[in-house]
Amino acid sequence: MGLFNFLSSAGEKLLGKNEEAELAAEKAAEVREKLRKVKTVAALRNEIGNLGLDVNGLDLGFDGTTVTVSGDTASHEVREKVIVAIGNYHGIGAVDDHLTVGGKTPPAEGESEVGTRFYTVVRGDTLSKIAKEQYGKANKYPVIFEANRPMLEHPDRIFPGQVLRIPPLAE
């Protein structure tokens, strides 16, 4: 028993040229997909930093459609902004949230300790229209705009499919 070494480029070929080309193409596709995942994680990490969203011990994983995020934030607002910022990028279908707030596990999905709701923009929406629907007053659109800064740079720049934070109105 033992390992016997051979020159891999010598000898009779078992696979035809088409089969070898297919195998090479499959391997290249695997390498491209791994590179895409690594680049996506790096770009998301960079974007979170550029947005000024502070996450201690930030860890990101990407399986091709779902981003897993963990770390600790100082507030529920920062946690929600990180989730929304990640989820609103092309190619991201879901965010698996493992973020803590001040070292504590936040409420379950769909619940919010601070009363924030989430809204998915549809064609024809404006922040004024969303504010009218959510708050009963179109002139409350700055509340939604500010709740989604720095991800939103201008109140007129929203797009269908984008998820926005809708905070409760201050009393």
Residues 164 and 152 in one domain: yes
Q: Look at the chain and report how many structural domains it folds into.
A: 2
The kind and range of the H/E element at 30 are helix 17-50
Are 60 and 97 contained in the same domain? Answer: yes
CATH for 127: 3.10.350.10
Exposed, middle or buried by CB within 10 Å (0-12, 13-18, 19+), for 119?
middle
- Identify the pLDDT of residue 24: 82
Q: 144 with 67, same domain?
A: no
103 and 124 co-located in one domain:
no
Q: What pLDDT, on the 0 to 100 scale, is given for residue 114? A: 66
Which of 84, 111, 138 is a domain's end point? 111
What CATH number is attached to the domain comprising 23? 1.10.287
Let me know whether 137 and 102 are in one domain: no
Enclosing domain of residue 135: 115-171
* Residue finishing a domain among 88, 111, 134: 111
99 and 126 together in one domain: no
- The tokens for 63 are 């399986």
Report the half-sphere exposure of 43 (CA within 13 A, side-chain side): 14
- pLDDT recorded at residue 14: 64
Residue 54, Cα to own-chain centre: how many angstroms? 16
3-state secondary structure of 139: helix
Query: Do 107 and 124 lie in a common domain?
Result: no
Same domain, 106 and 34: yes
Residues of the chain with pLDDT under 50: 111
Verify that 104 and 140 share a domain, yes or no: no
Q: Are strands 66-73 and 94-101 parallel, antiparallel or unpaired?
A: parallel
